[in-house]
Amino acid sequence: MKLPSFRRIIKNDYEDKYQSLVETLSVSINYGIDSLYDALNKKISLKYNILGTVKDVTVQVDSTGKPIQTTGFKLDFTNKVAGVFVGKAENLTNPNDFPASVFIHWTQNGDSVQINNIAGLSTSNSYKLRIIAFGDEN
């Protein structure tokens, strides 16, 4: 269901004796409802509005899936990480080789995530991975 449009609070819709109060309150109320309305109508972003971090990292893995170079990224939040997912995997060495089912084994070290192993990538290829880390509520 699509939300109906929001009718803003306007001081002229009220009796003269209430207009000053309505004008004062309407700024905060209209702004808050506009923000909520936008969020509920698909105008919210993962990067800026959800407890998470979106990072692009470039990696190469050995035959066991271990990154050849130490690989990790800083978090944009301080909470415990609930999960780390690959949103996109691009083969920079061979654009015609498409990785499938790329999974990351990771550990959290304070405000950063260390990538320990990556399944689903070919050896001796360089990949750009878009990684999404979701924060836990605690």
Structure token digits, residue 105: 């084994």
The average confidence (pLDDT) of the chain is 92
Question: Which amino acid does the sequence have at 61?
Answer: V
| Range with lowest mean pLDDT among 4-8, 25-29, 126-130 | 4-8
Neighbours of 62 (CB within 10 A): 11
Hey, which bits of 1-138 come out as E strands? Answer: 52-59, 71-74, 81-91, 103-109, 112-119, 127-135
Output the pLDDT for position 103: 96
Confidence of residue 4 (pLDDT cuts 50, 70, 90): confident
In the predicted structure, residue 131 carries a pLDDT above the cut 90: yes
pLDDT tens digits, residue range 78-120?
899 999 999 999 999 999 988 989 999 999 999 999 999 999 9
